């Protein structure tokens, strides 16, 4: 089995990929997926995107220390795309380690879990920006929502989009994909793994006209002139022209994949004679 590549990894100047893999058994195979976090380093302040999965905090802490110990701007802000364990489940541990962080995004109910940190909660609306020095972090529309409170983000310095559950897919540990960007994982069937992830994690996409969402995604990428896509679940995308069409095809294929399998299973059950 191939060895896992290590993070942190600098995806673009001042943008670091953090996290660790989560193993997911599915259809007789073990897929790996990321619950990634990202660190944006400005000249005046650094910002953490997501808290990663709670189990990953010891790894995340080491990775952050490695980046922040190199004379970078201090960590002052945290942005979370939405209130789900792989995205915000590490919030308590992050705050105990960095108790002065301001917390941004749709912060609707964090005060219920962490009343002692109410003074750090700063809600954002689409279009709101945080100046990190030399670059801004801007809250953007969440085209693919997991929860009502979902929100995406964008780094103006290197034009990096942080889409949370958008562009979500698993990868193959046995082919050495861990720590690779999408374009390096040459054996990855991106259409298939995108469809599988949509079926397992975003089941509403099985009942929606995904052409509408694909069109909105593509328009967002154009309007914001996105250069890098850094999803929470999935390998980062550095070559949008090559990889985005495959991810879009996977979103569109999810419904056909699920319902064709269901139809096949029903036919097989119907053909089994009664005992």
Q: Where are the chain's structural domains? A: 9-183+225-238
The CATH number of the domain covering residues in 9-183+225-238: 3.60.15.10
pLDDT for res 81: 93
What is the arithmetic mean of pLDDT over 269-275?
Answer: 47
The alpha carbons of the chain give a radius of gyration, in whole angstroms, of 19
pLDDT for res 275: 44
pLDDT for res 270: 45
What is the arithmetic mean of pLDDT over 150-154?
Answer: 95
pLDDT for res 156: 98
What is the arithmetic mean of pLDDT over 40-46?
Answer: 98
pLDDT in tens, 201-211: 666 667 778 78
pLDDT for res 248: 83
pLDDT for res 87: 81
Q: Give the separation between CA 18 and CA 9, rounded to whole angstroms.
A: 7
pLDDT in tens, 54-111: 888 999 999 999 999 988 999 999 999 988 877 888 899 999 999 999 999 999 889 9
């Amino acid at each position: 089995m191939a060895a896992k590549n290590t993070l942190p990894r600098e995806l673009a100047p001042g943008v670091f990929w953090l996290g660790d893999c989560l193993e997911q058994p599915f259809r007789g195979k073990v897929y790996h997926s990321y619950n990634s976090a990202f660190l944006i380093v400005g000249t005046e302040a650094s910002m953490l995107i997501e808290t990663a999965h709670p189990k990953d905090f010891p790894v995340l802490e080491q990775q952050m220390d490695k980046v922040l110990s190199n004379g970078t701007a201090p960590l002052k802000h945290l942005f979370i795309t939405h209130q789900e364990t792989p995205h915000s489940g590490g919030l308590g541990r992050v705050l105990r380690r960095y108790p002065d962080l301001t917390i941004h995004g749709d912060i609707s109910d964090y005060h219920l879990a962490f009343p002692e940190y109410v003074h750090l909660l700063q809600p954002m609306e689409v279009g709101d920006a945080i100046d990190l020095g030399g670059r801004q972090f801007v809250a953007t529309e969440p085209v693919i929502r997991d929860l009502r409170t979902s929100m995406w983000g964008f780094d103006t310095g290197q034009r990096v989009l942080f889409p949370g559950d958008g562009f979500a897919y698993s990868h193959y540990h046995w082919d050495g994909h861990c720590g690779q960007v999408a374009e390096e994982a040459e054996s990855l069937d991106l259409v298939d793994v995108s469809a599988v992830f949509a079926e397992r994690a975003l089941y509403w996409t099985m009942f929606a006209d995904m052409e509408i969402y694909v069109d909105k995604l593509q328009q967002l990428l154009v309007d914001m002139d996105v250069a890098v896509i850094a999803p929470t679940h999935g390998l980062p995308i550095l070559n949008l022209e090559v990889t985005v069409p495959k991810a879009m095809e996977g979103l569109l294929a999810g419904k056909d994949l699920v319902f064709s399998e269901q139809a096949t299973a029903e036919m097989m059950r119907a053909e089994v004679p009664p005992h």
